[in-house]
Structure 1
Amino acid sequence: MPRFSFQQVDVFSSRPMRGNPLAVVVGADDLSDEQMQAFANWTNLSETTFLMEPSKAGADYRVRIFTPIQELPFAGHPTLGSCHVWLAHSGKSPSGYIVQECGAGLVRIRRDGTRLSFAAPPLNRSGPVDPTLIDRIAHGLGIPATLIEDANWIDNGPDWIGLLLPSRRDVLAVRPDYSLLKGLRVGVIGRFDPEQDGADAMFEVRAFSNRGTEDPVTGSLNAGFAQWLIGAGIAPSDYIAAQGTVLGRAGRVHVRQESSDIWIGGEVTSCIQGSVEL
């Protein structure tokens, strides 16, 4: 069986096992769709990625992103984790942007000190959420619909629906019933109270996937929230979001708007390195 270089990395944390894990297979050009999907199902991580030679001009590498059940055109923590592994294996040190090719097109990535950051891709869908759907989501989250201050579609590949709650405390108190949220990707965000919650972040985020799990730290969701909330004047142009608290993680997502770009960044830590036979 062919053997491939493999890494498992932790994204959005400088400390291993405190962020969101990602499995990365290097040199996967000859693997079939079925092999990639089967391996992603076996790892059972939120995403597994496969690095390939680029097919589009201007790209440094191509990545395909799989959940255990489907391929995604784009996802945030796989973008940063895959770039981290590509830099380690290629031995290259680009002076400008690193350009990733994925199903959503070309995504720019840059190094900010020890962090990697990606430029948030345009939203495929935005705008208000149907009130009937909001009621269903509120019921599925175990909260009154009146607690939801606002809701927006923030679809940038994964079809996230974002909810704004009054506070971090409200976000942490959510107890989802996945049978009622079936088929939906729902994110919730609430502001920190500096006196009660500290000042190392401004918002708390939680992400509930369409396969009945909570995602530890989610780049695509945070990108969508940033585009919505900064654009609406609810969030400042530079902030840090915390995620994963309920799961015992300590993810930190760095958000910064520069001109028309919103950059989503975080630390990436290598945890497992070796080879895999597929």
Structure 2
Amino acid sequence: MSSYEFRQVDVFTNEPMLGNPVAVVHGADGLSDEQMASFARWTNLSETTFLLRPGDPAADYRLRIFTPSGELPFAGHPTLGSAHAWLEAGGEPKGAYVVQECGVGLVSLQRGERLAFAAPDLLRGGPVEEDVLERIAAGLRIGRAEILAAQWADNGPGWVAVMLRDAEAVLALTPDPAALGDLAVGAVGTYPEGAECAIEVRAFVGGLGVDEDPVTGSLNAGIAQWLGGDVLPVAYVSSQGTVMKRRGRVHVATDDEGRIWVGGDTLTTIQGSLTL
């Protein structure tokens, strides 16, 4: 058995216990796949991550991301939380950006008022099939006509995003996890102009072992790629986790080169060591 440095980081909040926690294990090169998967099941968080030496010389570190039911090629709040943990532990980026190596390749993060990652290219985009929309409507316990628009927004977890009438309609959802099954569904609705946040987002991911994720960077990235600059402005704040008594705030901005940056506050809530 070996001891590993450990942090649990709250992401998309500047107040403890109001964001989405991620468990981060440092120096995890000696752990097997099964040890990683077993620890992720034990933490029972939406994601648990493992920091390893990079394989790509352009990267600062390699990250593996596990849910209670399996491994993901990319996820947003684990990316921000793991970068926070790596920097807090003394990590020094090689260049202007922190560069993470993960299942979708290299992901850049910028440091400013808060950490932000560059949204990776979608693995799947485009229109959603009608039979999938019927299934989503049934799983959300709403009529099919209440889904005003939809788009595949998959950058790793398999997201399909649906737009409802407004933020109130999103907050009122009482989904049936069994009916949604293994679909990763993101619901989005707008707030009135002038509100603190532009949209309310909810993420239903029963297939990953979590019925609802509190605050979700990857989904917000996919929504920005779908709606940013059209339905949504080039810079805005997204609210998520309200129904779960969280106060997640996701800061989204598109730079002059067209890159979408998804950011949030991060803070360490637990620090210590674990033995595996």
Question: Which of the five TM-score ranges fits, normalised by the shorter chain?
Answer: over 0.9
Q: Residues 202 and 239 of structure 1 are in contact (CA less than 8 Å); yes or no, is this contact kept in structure 2? A: yes
CA displacement, residues 236-262 of structure 1 (integer Å, 9 cap, x when unaligned): 111100000000000000000112210
Q: Secondary structure at the match of 1:155?
A: coil
2:233 to 224, 232, 236: 236
- How many positions carry a matched residue from both structures? 273
Cα deviation for residue 90 of structure 1 reads: 2.5
Cα deviation for residue 214 of structure 1 reads: 0.6
1:247 paired residue number: 244
Confirm whether residue 201 of structure 1 aligns to residue 184 of structure 2.
no
**TM-score w.r.t. length of structure 2:** 0.96
After superposition, the CA RMSD in angstroms is 1.2
1:25 paired residue number: 25
Whichever residue aligns with residue 236 of structure 2, its letter is Y
Structure 2 distance, partners of 1:94, 1:243, is 33
Structure 2 distance, partners of 1:179, 1:48, is 24
Structure 1 distance, partners of 2:249, 2:210, is 23
Structure 2 distance, partners of 1:130, 1:274, is 47
Q: Residues 60 and 93 of structure 2 are in contact (CA less than 8 Å); yes or no, is this contact kept in structure 1? A: no
Structure 2 spans left out of the alignment, 5+ residues: none
Cα deviation for residue 89 of structure 1 reads: 1.1
Q: Residues 84 and 268 of structure 1 are in contact (CA less than 8 Å); yes or no, is this contact kept in structure 2? A: yes
Q: Residues 182 and 212 of structure 1 are in contact (CA less than 8 Å); yes or no, is this contact kept in structure 2? A: no
Structure 2 distance, partners of 1:133, 1:53, is 40
1:186 paired residue number: 185
The runs of at least 4 aligned residues of structure 1 exceeding 3 Å deviation read none
1:227 paired residue number: 225
Structure 1 spans left out of the alignment, 5+ residues: none
Whichever residue aligns with residue 146 of structure 2, its letter is L
Structure 1 distance, partners of 2:165, 2:15, is 30
CA displacement, residues 83-130 of structure 1 (integer Å, 9 cap, x when unaligned): 0000011242666111000111000001121x1000000001001111
1:216 to 214, 217, 224: 214
Q: Secondary structure at the match of 2:153?
A: strand
Percent identity reads 56
Structure 2 distance, partners of 1:24, 1:256, is 26
Whichever residue aligns with residue 261 of structure 1, its letter is R
Q: Residues 77 and 218 of structure 1 are in contact (CA less than 8 Å); yes or no, is this contact kept in structure 2? A: yes
CA displacement, residues 161-216 of structure 1 (integer Å, 9 cap, x when unaligned): 0001110000001110011000100000000025xxx7211100000002351100
Structure 1 pair 56–94 and aligned structure 2 pair: CA distance change class (3 A): closer
Structure 2 distance, partners of 1:94, 1:133, is 44
Structure 2 distance, partners of 1:48, 1:91, is 19
**TM-score w.r.t. length of structure 1:** 0.96
Structure 2 distance, partners of 1:130, 1:251, is 30
